[in-house]
Amino acid sequence: MKYLAAGLAAILACCFVFSAGCINTTPSGPIAAGDNVTVEFTMYIGDTVMVTSNETKYNQILTSGQMPVPLILTEDPIVTAGSTTDNDDLTIPTKTHSNPYWFLIGEYNVIAGNIVGLEKGDTICIPIYAEGTEKTGFWTNELCDEQGLNKQLLKAGDRLTYTRTIGDATSTEDGSYDQNNLTNQQTMIHQLLVIDVTAEGVTYQELYDTVEITVV
């Protein structure tokens, strides 16, 4: 039986793994549904880059000094044009972290679903979620304490890296499952953006706004 555990790492200063773009899969002409396509992508909250596979963009942010939290740089994924998934355990290898990036279902589906008809070299920038989708959450002071977050060190614009671990819960003698003792563990990472810090708690955004996609 599969269980998951999630944790936040506030850094201020299985699962199906996407194929990495190490082979030439992209067709030479317009992309058709069912084609396997290598894409380069960057995801944003507002103007803030949250994750990218674009090394040039990553290095520009790095040299600008605007990276108090290590930005996630991934491999270029290979996606199937026109496909959709309900698999919530999709990941892609990262170049900057020891764990792979957790691609949310909505992120994969919007990339795969909007590249049909494009050609190699084309770039588009589109919303990831439908208008009206709730993208933010709120931690009370109590929840911050439970997660080991020092609210006094947080400010709007900070990125927080969190981990999600899935695995097989071990069975016990009474036939139940021990969720605290997982085997075949697989850990993935994602990042949040702090939107506001108030006396009552912390508002954060987990779902990203837009994705820039380039067919490569």
In a domain, 40, yes or no: yes
CA distance 205 to 131: 15
In a domain, 143, yes or no: no
CA distance 163 to 179: 17
Q: Please, what is the average pLDDT of the chain?
A: 86
In a domain, 1, yes or no: no
In a domain, 102, yes or no: yes
Contact 208, 45 (CB under 8 A): yes
Helix (H, G, I), strand (E, B) or coil at 62: helix
Q: Please indicate whether residue 7 or residue 91 has the higher confidence score (pLDDT).
A: 91
Give mean pLDDT, residues 43-59: 95
In a domain, 42, yes or no: yes
CA distance 124 to 104: 19
In a domain, 188, yes or no: no
What is the percent of the chain where pLDDT is above 90? 68
Contact 40, 214 (CB under 8 A): yes
Give mean pLDDT, residues 41-69: 89
In a domain, 108, yes or no: yes
Q: Please indicate whether residue 184 or residue 31 has the higher confidence score (pLDDT).
A: 31
Prediction pTM value:
0.83
Please report, for the domain that includes residue 69, its CATH number. Answer: 3.10.50
Count of domains forming the chain: 1
In a domain, 6, yes or no: no
pLDDT on residue 165:
81
Query: Structural domain of residue 112, as residue ranges?
Result: 16-131+209-215
